[in-house]
Structure 1
Amino acid sequence: MQDAQQIIDTAHEMADAARKAILPLFRSSSIITDNKRPEDFDPVTQADRAAEAAMRDVLSRRRPQDGIFGEEFGRTDGDSGLTWILDPIDGTRAFLCGAPSWGVLIGLGDDAGGIRYGLIDQPYLRERFEGGLGRARLVGPDGERALATRQGVTLSGATLMTTFPEIGSSAEAQAFRRVADRVRLTRYGLDCYAYALLALGQVDLVIEAGLQQYDIAGPLAVVEAAGGIVTDWQGGSAAQGGQVIAAASRDLHAQALEMLRG
């Protein structure tokens, strides 16, 4: 892409702006929480809204020609053929608990449905995972390091992560359990940070269901740039969300996909 550097610079400026909006409210007793879904608990806070507004302000100055799709404020059309896909706080439940496993997700999609670039930013830990446009790196308090998924791990030796033990529907939960019963270790609850750990070579599989596009666009770009593979449970594109499997290698992906399919 001819404007790759401008895109990268814009993404980092957005992530910086989101950090600035969110951190004063993290672990704050004054946090205000609304519930999006009265039938259960789907929280949104003023930190979610402030972070997305801050990112949109950056885009309005730097790349007004691009479209935007954000969790909190919906869609804004553009005419460049590119759309920024924003989740200002992925893991709001963790945010409310004071656990630093939430993150700011930024993805850049094209009109063909592909994801060109993405960031997973954890403001409290000051860790930023970047993938796409020639980048695959973590920048954090200890400096910069390359991202690379762990290779050569079989299903029986794999570490699997997901956000909720009660994943998706009953049928989806049964499919997940078939994989979980075959791996070495299963852990729960890290939201987008699980994908960051996969890209870092710390875990081997992430399997989830019921995702929205803004939940997966940024992580997909980061994992694939690190050498992993991200698809839906049928082996097709996961760029729109839904059922998602992210794996460190193609061989491991094939083994896990076979178990998901029963």
Structure 2
Amino acid sequence: MSGPAGASSPAGSTTRSGRAACVVFDADETLVDLRPAVTGALAAVLDEMRRWTPAAAEVSLADLEADWGAVFGALSAAPVQEIRRAALARSLARAGLDAHLDEFAALFFARRFALTRPFPDALPTLAALRSHHLLGFATNGNSRAERCGLAGEFEFELYAHENGLPKKPAPEFYAAVVAAAGLPAEHVVHVGDSPEHDVLAPQRAGLRAIWLNRGRLPRPPGLTPDAEVSTLAELPDVLARLETTKA
């Protein structure tokens, strides 16, 4: 955990019944446009592999992307950096470069963070919400706010695997969110793109949840978010309606 978890509310925040006094955001694919950064980082790894050995000529970017999925299932509870290293190890083995994992992992993470940007709607939305809400950042991934164009935007930041914090959807993760907010769970709204991690699990923990559905996908059976948006720009109006109906 980092950030001033016990910080006072910004001017205009309130904790009266039903008021969404704290809004907590997921990182990857919610605030952070991760996919282009990962693709660019993998492309840099592949280019470097091909410089090291002709054997990498037969390796494709699609192979490197598939290696993440191949290792994720067995390691899903592990830190994201560990999962990425396992995927890279599998990729390097395709070209006999297994012994050079540390060098290629360093290249991957350097490019991944250099290319990582917030979505265009992220910073304007945070600015619009700040005067009336505490803002939090809570992620399973390694998208640290200060390395993703989001430094100084949040009252608190929570990262899975720091201080023993388990990953979403563990109940302990959302308990830590509530503790960092310093408010009752019903005054905290979780916003994110994952139906399980960002809607169902927070709701089970007593938080309200807004599903960010950028792709306008059909709602999965059994998913009943407190609200659904397709862009972060919709949040100020949606939160105002939630606060009115819950007041």
Q: Does the pair score TM above 0.5?
A: no
TM-score (normalizing by structure 1): 0.27
Q: Rg larger in 1 or in 2?
A: 2
Richer in strand (by share)? 1
TM-score (normalizing by structure 2): 0.28
Richer in helix (by share)? 2
